[in-house]
Each structure stands twice: as C-alpha cells, then as structure tokens.
Structure 1
C-alpha cells in the first residue's frame, strides 16, 4: 500500500502518534462522515474502505503550471499525456542533486482543490519576494533542512537532510522556524544533455555577439545620387585567414541606387570590443575582414563578411536584423550540451556581464526574451538567479533594462572566459546555488492536475526551474478520524 503522507493523530488515545495517512477528496470524506455518526468511542474509529478501492491523490498543481519535458521544453501540466517523458532530478539524503534521469508519465489526475498555495522566495523585505510556483495544499514539497546531531546547543553539530513535506504543514510554520531549521526548496538543476545536437554557431562567439554584436541593414540617403559614384577610401587594416593585413588608401565605385532613388541599403556585421583576448578567441572560428576605431572610446569595431560563415549562421537562426531589445538565444543553443552552454554564458559575461567585489554575477540587457533565455541557461547549469527591471541612462536618455543576477556555485570561476579582469574577480562559490528559502501564501480554490512518474525519485522540474514532487495514484484503504 503506497505511503502518501505522514500526519499525527490530533486527539484520542493515539494523540501525537504518527501513522500512515491518505488524502481523501470531498466526495469520499462526505461518505465516511455518514458512517462516523455511529462511532462513539475513540477506539471505534476502525478501518473504512472506499467503495472502488481506488483514489486519486491530490499532490497536484494548478492549470497552467509548467513541467520540463525530456526534450528541454516546458509543457503545461494539463496538456501532459500518459507516456510523455520528463526530466526527473535525483536528490540524495543530504539534499544534494546528484544527477537527472528521464522518467515516463504513468498516470494523471485532475480535481478541484479547495485550498492551494503559492511559494515565494523568503526575503527580509516582502516587496522583494519572487514567485516560485503554485500547488495544492497536500502537494509534497521537496526540502532540505538542518538536522542537529546532539541535544547540547554548544557542541551538538548538524547536517543537512532531504525530506518531502506537505504544503499545508509547511504553511503552518512561522518564518522564524523556517529560518532556524534552514528549510529551503530546490531551484536550478545541472542537466548534462537534452539529447539534442549542438547549435551550429560557435558558442563563445554567439555569447559575445549577443552582448556586443550587430548585424543590421541600414538605409543611407545620398543627395542627388545617380549611381556609379567614385569615392576615396582611407587606408585601414583587415584580416584574411586570421592574418592582419594593411590596406592602402584607394578609390571604389558605389553601386547604383535602389528603387527608392537616392536611398542606398547598407548591411554590416560587426562586434565592438576593447578586449583583444575576446577577439583573438573569436578569430579562431571566424575570420575578421576589417577593423575600425570607434570614435570617443578605446573600443574597436571588428567587421565580418556579410557573405561569410558567421553571417550565414546568424541568418539561419533568425538573429540578423535584431536590435538590442529584440535579441534572443536560439532554442537549439539553449538545449545544446552542457559544455556548449558554458561557453555561451562565458561570452555573455565577458561582454555584458558584471562581477562585483562580493563575487556576485549579473548581466544587463534591453531584451526581455534574452534575459529569460540567459536565466534558463543559468538554471540548466545548476545555478540560481532572478530577473529585475531597472532603468539606465544612455546618451542622455533613460531606458528600461533587465538585469539578471545569478550565482553558479562551483562553476562560478570555471567558465571558459577570456576577460582577465572578470576572471581574477570570480571565485568558486561556497554556497549551494540551487537552495532557496521560501514562504507559502494561501490562494483559495483552483482546478489542479497531477502526474505520476515511473521512477524512484518521483521528482520533476516546474515553473522557474523549481524541483517538486509528482502526484500518486494508489489503491488505498483510508483510516479517517
């Protein structure tokens, strides 16, 4: 008989004793209540058997909650079918996520839950709490907490242990108790592979391009331009097969105007950087055509052929013509191997990343989609983070930006970065990044769905890359007090 939950008897001869208990929906409870009218003494509680002997147990989540599938894509829990494959983390007794495996959905359930909860991050300031996910009141939440080894407060020592506790029980605990026991749930999980081939774009180059690159078409107006105009070109440097070559000043003929008369279309692909080590790494994979100094800065603009390998790959994945607020990480790059994702994130940190003196990492971008994609990469590497809206001034104007603050734990200083300043600042993280404190807030009645997996851990990844417990379908005999 499947063990579903552990609760203490509230009264009678068995008060405060532990016993196996089972969830009952409203219909089953009403039927048992009729029989209980004939029970007089506390020892008369006996065993009551449900009519069909099969009860769907409500460890569920509301409609719209996400589940991370085996292919790396999130799917609404109500759309999951029997036989679907999901990613299931494995957590040891000490609360360490050791690996992931692919589990199969063997059953599903659906009912109306009268009471549900939202999990939020546990912070000192209530206005800074971040939503994690929603669940039914009897949903099992995987947690890690402190277990003291001795009763002596001075020398008792402690260790971290892993447990699964119902949401309604955790909701009864005061914040002080949650803090004292160090109760945290899990967010972020290192996934070695999603079973896909790597994206064609070299990952470090992709990260640098998303941070400091541009591939745009611009329209320039030339007054009274009739075509075939000869202009003087100043001397400059260009790269052929990664070799720097000086080009003397010369003349060239501009092509005829397009259908718009004096307006001419100009396409350019470039990366602007002041760090030569970054460009040296990129030039191993993509030849640089020419370089130009950027006015007013120490940065240099490196131009690439618009008919070259990099341009063709960017066009294939839809990254050409995207302004800074429209950039994104291609789906195939997000779901590439763990080594690919490491190099991709390294490129982003080397360009748009910031490392403060406290070893905290952040990346700032104008693109909301890119911010969400970066956070997915962080979570899939076993890190943890969040996105917040900020305002920044640029060229005298104030714009909205998205800042991704994150921590990578043991990977904090192990990414293949090239920016020496950031490398020297980064240190290995001492904290476990995938542990997050939380509180629960009641949200009332909702339609909920549950899934049952065929593996031992019974865990899956839900909204915001949080790890949670699946539902159970069991043949039961329910003891009701």
Structure 2
C-alpha cells in the first residue's frame, strides 16, 4: 500500500526522501512542530473527562476502539492559536493548527479499507492536520454536504471509575423504565405505566409487580430497598421535568449502560419505519445525561429543543406544555438500543446511512477561537487516538517510520530503525503503532521485542545503539533497511558497522537495500556526517563511492518546508542564538552551533595570496609569517578524544592570525576523518609531530592548561617533551 494513502507527505524534500532510490540517503535539517489541545479542553479517561492540563505521563485515557491507553509522553507547547472544530451534530472541540485527525471524506472511495489492530472494523480515512482541514473546507462550495470530512465515532467506552461501595443498586433496565414511564411522586408507591407486556415481563423478572384497575398501571411491591435507593439519589419525588440519570450509571459497564438505554427507549423512545431512532424527554438534565451515555456507547447524537409543544382544548385555545428535548440517534447496531420486539424489528444495520457504512461526525466549520496554553500527548495504543469533548475522536503526537514500510509486502523483508538510546525509542514506536496497523491491516506488535510483524511476514524492529557493544548485538544479522534517527547523536563507527548488516541473499529479486538517516546540523558526529554526506557534492546530487559502487545523496530540509508549522512556534524559535537558529531552523550545515565565531571566507578566512596582498608584503618576502611578528602556539590536549594545536601570529598592530593547526583526529579505513576519536599519542609522540611542523621556527609563547602542563613535566629527572625538543617558553592558561 502506498504511503500517500495513509497521509500525504509534505511536498518538496519530504516527498523526495520517501521516493529516493539511492542506497544511502540523509534527510537533514530542521525542526518540526507539535500536535496540541488547550489545557482546559477535556480528555476522556476511564474515570470520566479530565482537563488536558491534568493529563500526565502514566495517565490512562480512553481509546475510540473501547480500550484504555496509557500516556507515555506529554509535550507542553506554550501559547498557541486555538481553533474550534464544529461538527454536523452540533458538538465541537478545540485544537491547535497542527493537530492530527483521522478523517474520511463523504462519498469518496479509498483504494483500501484500514482496520484497527486486532479487529475487522474498517477505518476508512487518512491522517490530516487542522490546517489542511481549513484549506480543504475553504475550497468547498458552501460546505457541500457530499464532500465534508468525517471523523469516526468511538466504539463503546469502558469506564473504570471506582466507588467505595456498590452503586448499581437498581437493575439498569428497570431504572430506565421508571425514569421513562414511572410515577415517583405518589407517597411511597412506585408505579409505572405500560401497554407493552414485554416491558411488564422484564420488570417482573426483577421485582414483584401488581396490575392496577386501569389495566395499564403497575405497582412494584415489597421493595423498600428500591424506594430508599431512589430517595437517596434524589430521584424519588421528581416529576418528569426533574428526572435525571444517577451519576454512577453514566460510567457503569457497557452492558449496564445499554440496559439503561433500552429501558429509556422502550418507554420514551421511537423507531420509525425507516429505522431512525430518537428519544424525547421534557427534562433538560435527563436529555444531557442520556446524550452522554449514548455518545459513550458510540452513537452520534443530534439534539433539538421544541419550545412550541402544546395542544388545543375543547374551545380551540392552545395550551402550552413543557419544552421537549429530542435526541436523534445515529450509528451502527441500533437494535442494541431497544428490547421491545416491535421496535427492534424496525431497526436497520446502520441508522442514518447505508448498510455496512461506517458512522462518523461530519466537520462543518473551523474557526479561530483564541490563544491559549496548550500541550499534546503521546499514547501507547496502536492507533494513537484518544477522545476529547463529546467523545470526539482525535489523533496525537514522520519520515523514517513511513519509509521503512516500503517493502513490507515482501515476506523476508527485515527493517531496523535505530535511536541512540532505549528511552528515545518511545516516540518512534508510538508513531509506528498509529500507522502500521492502519496501512497494513493485521499487523501485530510484540512489545518486548519492539517488533512489528506484517501480514506478509515482513518485520520492522525498533532498536538502539549507544555504543559499539550495542551495535555488535546485530553481528551476523541480515537486514534490508537500516534507518537511523538523529544520526549525528551516534558514534560514527557504530553507524559504519550497522551498514555492514545491510545485505540480502533471499528469493525476492525485487528486494532493494536501503540506508536512511535523519538528523539536525549538530551532535557528536556532526563533522563526520557533514564530511560524508554534505561536503562531497551539492544537495540532491548523487555521489557514487568509487570503492563500493554504491551511491548516496543528501536531501536538505528546512522548517519552512512544512507548510503546517504555526507562526507561534516559529516566533519562539526566533529567540535561538543566530548560529543555532541557522542550523536547527534553516537546516544550514555550514554553520555549527558549537562554534564561537561566525567565520566567512574572504572576510575571516584568507588564502596565503590574500594574506600577502592585504598586508602589503612584497613578493620576495612572501615566505609565511613575517619574521618580526610575534608567534604563539596554544594546545587543547586530548588522548582518547582529539587534541588541537593552533599557531597564532600577531602583527605590529596587534591583529591575530591563525596560520597553522594540528588536529589529533583518527581516520577510518576509507581515510575519512573521525572528529570524535583521538590519536591516543603520548606527550613525546605529539611533541615530535609538533616539532616536524615547526621546523625550528621561533615560537615566542606557548599556552596550555596548567594541569596538563604538570602531567607533561612528570619526574624532574625526565626529559620535558615541551622543553628541549621544541623552542619557546610555556605560559600557563588561567
């Protein structure tokens, strides 16, 4: 399945990365953004709704497939622009511009259905940001109903709200009947009215019932516990307009909530000849409570209020009655909402749509709401989804994870995606969990091995390599795809070793071998990455290794390549130091955030010809630094890490010129410099190398850390390597 069927890549570098056919490819550059909701927006948990600001790592949140997910990361986003998303059923929620949604489009067919992990339920849609939704809706002609984006409905939600004592003291179906057609204001009598023997039989199965003289009123006998419970709840004594659903029943088990709804629908509900379901009450609070329960069971509710209810008396005068609140119910399996046979027989497989359709909420409007503090969360569920206000399904907190799927249809395809440390894997795995099962229905995840197994038999593993010992765990393994996220954080020799594992000797002739990496212009292996991928050729230029014949390419990235980064995020990044901004925001590799000076050729960096010309040195005297200038040498010593010697000259006006340097860096088998690995020379060996470079040149001063100077001197009887072999006194750096 093509990646574009799940989520469209940003045009430009991101698309180029996903389509690139080179053996090695570095996608390097800039930062991205977050996916957030305001701190006061509501997130559904197994214990009820909680403000986003109260959600912490380890919090449990409800997933739209009916399960419970754990929050594994919380990402504060600062103050952001907040947009209100309005739906066709008159519900709404607030999110930021780059928040992700799983949507499908009305009357638009996709090439294939997606499914949640371990279920056969279709998930027809793709991931899209709020910004993309705004652009899409702006193009619609009057928000055409036939083209609106639709978010899926939740599956029935499991609540785990605990009470000190049992709270479901009345059979839920009986409670629904009493709320619907019960009389709870007659002294200590509990009665209900019904002409349906099925309802009477259901109540009689739980309590002793007697038929009153009118043939339609029934009393519940010998039930002091029931009477006391209704009084304790405050429900007994309430007329129709004051009825409500006790709080414990709103978060009861799925079965108990369905049973309560069945009691309400069998009494005050209606199913018409088309199979459309509705529920009407004169209690505003009861309508609100019933809507909460129905939405938690996976139904879409459109609520209306009729203020013109009434009738005309014998004289023709209109008698005003109480306002009526109606809930129009849409969703799959509406037969679960009723027990009465005559109503159940009218229900259709999907009330409000076509048979086997997937219910959802249509987005009708998106508008700017306010600026507010926001945060996004990452959950450990395979689909990455959670629920917000009115049980609206929303997606949380991309290139390597997508790209690794490229050959997942081949049975012996093996891909491994690396981060440097184990803890850094969490975000990548959470992202993969939200994508792979949707892209390839039936994909399984082994949490202990961090392994995704696709229906074809292909696998993608997420691993870490902090050092060569970790990397050697892959010795003898054969993989076809190596992905390295944040390459510049790795030791370069670790990366070189892992590349030796990329090989194939299987049956699929179409199998390709790939090495893919991402990183920003910083980190411990910055110079190695730059020397290997950046310096040899301009961006997007194919480089062929003469020794191996394999090719590599660098695809640059900037933050501006992502059209959905919000302006507030850009503004905050503008406060970075200039060089760090160039590296992390503009994706500039020719500046390094660790450097002190911003050096430019022709201004700060001269050739010897420019040096002679600018200092007016005659041709016959052009033999390096003039003899009358003061010359100095400084040393930053290193053994396992590189050392550096720098020679500096001062002209007659006090201007300084660095004219020679000696970096103690090792090289790999191909002759490439390893800027993170030292030569491991002794003091004597380094002094000999320095002497060979100076060739008896007069050095007036030498500067080194006093602690290193003391180590170099050692025993007074030993030769001072910085004395007789090299001319010039030392000054201690302080």
TM-score when normalising by structure 2: 0.45
The alignment status of 1:398 with 2:365, answered yes or no, reads no
Q: Which of 132, 156, 160 matches 1:190? A: 156
Q: Which residue of 1 aligns with 2:45?
A: 69
Q: Which residue of structure 2 aligns with residue 161 of structure 1?
A: 124
**Are the structure 2 counterparts of residues 277 and 462 from structure 1 closer, same or farther at C-alpha, using a change threshold of 3 Å?**
same
Taking the aligned partners of 1:216 and 1:86, their CA distance within structure 2 comes to: 40
* Distance change in 2, residues 1:417/1:432 (3 Å): same
**Partner of 2:96 in structure 1?**
136
Residues 247-282 of structure 1 deviation map (CA, whole Å, 9 limit, x = unaligned)? xxxxxxxxxxxxxxxxxxx43321122222211210
Cα separation, partners in 2 of 1:433 and 1:313, compared to 1, 3 Å:
farther
The reply on whether 1:465 has 2:391 as its aligned counterpart is yes
Task: Name the counterpart of 1:456.
Answer: 382
- Alignment of 1:102 with 2:69, yes or no, is yes
Change over 3 Å in CA distance of 1:292–1:194 after alignment to 2: farther
> Distance in 1 between the 2:74 and 2:392 partners?
21
Residues 269-325 of structure 1, C-alpha deviations (whole Å, 9 max, x = no match): 2112222221121011111256242xxxxx622223485232133234332122212
- Whether 1:412 and 2:412 are equivalent positions in the alignment is no
- Relative to its length, the structure with more strand (as a share) is 1
Confirm whether residue 370 of structure 1 aligns to residue 286 of structure 2: yes
Q: Equivalent of 2:197, from 272, 276, 279?
A: 276
Q: Which of the numbers 435, 438, 448 marks the counterpart of 2:360?
A: 435
**Structure 1 Cα separation of the partners of residues 16 and 389 of structure 2:** 33
Query: Do 1:170 and 1:440's aligned partners in 2 also have CA atoms closer than 8 Å?
Result: no
| 140 and 120 in structure 1: CA distance in 2 versus 1, 3 angstrom threshold | same
Q: Which residue of 2 aligns with 1:119?
A: 85
- Work out whether 1:8 is the aligned partner of 2:11: yes
Partner of 2:60: 85
Deviation of 1:139 (Å):
0.6
Given that 1:132 and 1:463 are in contact with CA atoms closer than 8 Å, whether structure 2 keeps it comes out as yes
| Equivalences for residues 187-226 of structure 1 within 5 A | 187-192=153-158, 194=160, 199-216=168-185
For residues 172-183 of structure 1, the aligned pairs below 5 Å read 172-173=135-136, 174-175=139-140, 183=149
Q: Distance in 1 between matches of 2:305 and 2:17?
A: 48
In the alignment, structure 1 residue 337 sits paired with structure 2 residue 250: no
Which has more helix, going by share of residues? Answer: 2
Q: Counterparts of 2:44 and 2:369 in 1: how far apart (Å)? A: 26
Q: What does residue 299 of structure 2 align with?
A: 383
User: CA separation in 1, counterparts of 2:391 and 2:158?
Assistant: 15
Unaligned runs of 5+ in 1: 21-45, 91-98, 123-128, 151-158, 218-265, 294-298
TM-superposition CA deviations, 1:143-197 (whole Å, max 9, x none): 13444549xxxxxxxx973321101011111236986666311233223564767
Q: 1:274 to 1:161 in 2, by over 3 A?
A: closer
1:207 match: secondary structure: helix
Give the Cα–Cα distance (whole angstroms) in 2 for the partners of residues 166 and 85 of structure 1. 24
Contact 1:6/1:18, CA 8 A, preserved across alignment? no
Q: 1:280 to 1:463 in 2, by over 3 A?
A: same
Gaps of 5+ in 2: 1-6, 19-26, 113-121, 314-318, 398-425, 429-485, 487-518, 521-556, 561-734
TM-superposed CA distance for 1:361, in Å, is 0.6
Decide whether the 8 Å contact of 1:205 with 1:344 is kept in 2: yes
1:237-256 pair list within 5 angstroms: none
Question: Residues 359-388 of structure 1: CA distance to partner in whole angstroms, max 9, x if unpaired?
Answer: 111111122221122122222222221211
Residues 314-344 of structure 1, C-alpha deviation per residue, up to 9 Å, x if partnerless? 2343321222122111222222222222221
The worse-fitting range, judged by mean Cα deviation, of 344-353 and 138-147 is 138-147
CA distance in 2 between counterparts of 1:398 and 1:415 reads 28
**Aligned residue-pair number:** 365
Q: Deviations over 1:207-252 (max 9, x none)?
A: 11110112226xxxxxxxxxxxxxxxxxxxxxxxxxxxxxxxxxxx
- Contact kept in structure 1, 2:207 and 2:223, CA below 8 Å: no
Shift in alpha-carbon separation, 1:105–1:301, aligned structure 2, 3 A: farther
What CA distance in whole angstroms lies between the structure 1 residues aligned with 2:219 and 2:370? 58
**Residue 267 of structure 2 corresponds to which residue in structure 1?**
351
| Aligned position for 2:469 | none
SS at match of 1:109: strand
Tell me: higher relative CO, structure 1 or 2? Use CA pairs within 8 A at least 6 residues apart.
1
RMSD: 3.3
1:318 aligns with 2:261: no
Please, which of 38, 55, 59 is the counterpart of residue 35 of structure 2? 59
Taking the aligned partners of 2:395 and 2:58, their CA distance within structure 1 comes to 18
Q: Deviations over 1:93-121 (max 9, x none)?
A: xxxxxx5233235324142113x322222
Give the match for residue 480 of structure 1: 559
2: CA distance between counterparts of 1:61 and 1:109?
A: 10
Residues 272 and 302 in structure 1, CA contact (< 8 A), matched pair in contact too: yes
